[in-house]
Amino acid sequence: MRLTSKGRYAVTAMLDLAFHSQLKPVTLIDIAARQTISLSYLEQLFARLRRANLVKGVRGPGGGYSLCGDAHNISIAEIVAAVGERIDSTKCGGEANCQKTHECLTHDLWMDLGDHVKSYLEKITLADLLAKNRVQEVAERQDQHAQQTIEIHNHADLMHTLQ
Amino acid sequence: MRLTSKGRYAVTAMLDLAFHSQLKPVTLIDIAARQTISLSYLEQLFARLRRANLVKGVRGPGGGYSLCGDAHNISIAEIVAAVGERIDSTKCGGEANCQKTHECLTHDLWMDLGDHVKSYLEKITLADLLAKNRVQEVAERQDQHAQQTIEIHNHADLMHTLQ
DNA sequence: ACTTAACCCAGTAAGTTAGTCAACTATTAC
DNA sequence: GTAATAGTTGACTAACTTACTGGGTTAAGT
Ligand code: FES
Ligand code: FES
């Protein structure tokens, strides 16, 4: 098993998307600002999410990304799998061939653990997370903070053009 | 979360130890042969396991390692923790401070997942694994195969001394 | 035309993993 | 005592992955 920032970022970004893309697409620039994730790195992750048909991109002004389908139908397991994180803990990848042709001593243990985690993440959807109070609170705080930084950014731009 | 060969090897070796060290200590050389793990790498892992008081080493001929205490009291979670694998999936390590002073959007999700996996691995002991039929079968197959390779090894030694 | 923002590709610093090599110490057997 | 055994320690390394940067292209809106 290997669940790193890649998977964390992917789920975080998808949750941000679910929260903000009700009306119109959300730009990666906004997500990067709110969640403090590198824009270029987000692009890479969304390339995978798009290939997995979890999001769709719209180009040009007013464009951005929005969810493919309903938040109730997107599980955390799907997102994590889409960006290429292995939930499986085995060395053999389920082939039961660690020792030449035979399984190793602990093959079954890791298989069971993997199944366990997988089913846990499959049962949680974006909608489930979105319904939590804590998530709502954090998202709203982020919106306010992002609004401030945008104002600061615009102010800086203004000063720049005045020079 | 990050569960790699390090944790797999550690648990596999401990299980091998639980299976073979009923009467006398087991050498790392034997474990390395049976489980096809690099001897030097095993030494590093057992240094950590010893520091965590999970095994004790006996030097000299007839020496080797044996379990500290009963197999019923050693959980998989302890072994994995002893070699330094993080079961926790959060970025913050439970501090809830991904975003400067605040928690990130998905903090709770990763905390819950970590707790879930941790309690799963805490409930499984070496004795539990040892009781399984599959594990017994694999261990016996490994014993036979190791016996063969030892004979081949002795044969090679014999030929060598005759030259 | 010009701007916006998705899309695409190449590269890279830092860190981790899995492993090797070499030296040293304690214990037992002869 | 001395030789063999087996644990103990530390430094060092190739290969790989992660997280990230930069530069460029393409499609869409105004
Ligand atoms: S993990 Fe599947 S055979 Fe070892
Ligand atoms: S994972 Fe804990 S705050 Fe982000």
Please state which architecture CATH assigns to domain A5-86+125-162.
Answer: Orthogonal Bundle (1.10)
Residues of chain A contacting residue B11, judged by C-beta atoms under 8 Å apart:
106, 109
pLDDT at B145: 85
Cβ neighbours, 10 Å, residue B31: 25
Chain D: nucleotides below 7 Å from protein CB are 4-11, 17-23, 26-30
pLDDT in tens, A81-105: 999 999 999 999 999 998 888 999 9
Count how many pairs of residues, chain A against chain B, have C-beta atoms within 8 Å. Answer: 93
> pLDDT tens across B77-115, in order?
999 999 999 999 999 999 999 888 899 999 999 999 999
Which residues sit opposite B102 in a β-bridge? B99
Confidence of residue A12 (pLDDT cuts 50, 70, 90): very high
Q: Any chain A CB within 8 A of the CB of B27?
A: no
Give the pLDDT confidence score for residue A1 in this predicted structure: 85
pLDDT over 70 at A152, yes or no:
no
Q: What is the pTM of this model?
A: 0.90
pLDDT at position B146 is 79
Asked if A2 and B1 come within 8 Å (Cβ–Cβ), the reply is: yes
Distance B148 CA to ligand 2 centre (A): 52
- What the block records as the tokens of B115 is 């707790």
Q: What stretches in chain B show pLDDT beneath 70? A: 149-163
Residue A156 clears pLDDT 70, i.e. is over it: no
Residue B77's pLDDT is what? Answer: 97
Determine the Cα–Cα distance for residues B147 and B143; give it in Å rounded to an integer. 6
Nearby residues of A138 by Cβ (< 8 Å), 6 or more positions away? B102, B103, B104, B105, B107
The rounded Å distance from CA B143 to ligand 1 centre is 18
Mean pLDDT of chain A: 91
Asked if A36 is an interface residue toward chain B (Cβ–Cβ < 8 A), one would say yes
Torsion, Cα A106 A112 A116 A119, to 10 degrees, reads 130
pLDDT band at A107 (very low <50, low <70, confident <90, very high): very high
* pLDDT tens-digit series, residues A44-72: 999 999 999 999 999 999 999 999 999 99
Domain boundaries, chain A: 5-86+125-162
Judged by a CB distance cut-off of 8 A, whether residue A132 touches chain B is yes
Banded pLDDT at A163 (limits 50, 70, 90)? very low
Q: Which of A52, A80, A84 is nearest to A65 (CA)?
A: A52
A4 touches strand C (CB under 7 A): no
Interface with chain B: mutation pick from A3, A30, A108, highest number of B CBs within 10 Å = A3
**Interacting residues of A131 by C-beta distance below 8 A, sequence separation 6+:** none
Q: Is the pLDDT of residue A39 over 50?
A: yes
A 38-97 residues inside an 8 A Cβ radius of B: 76, 89, 91
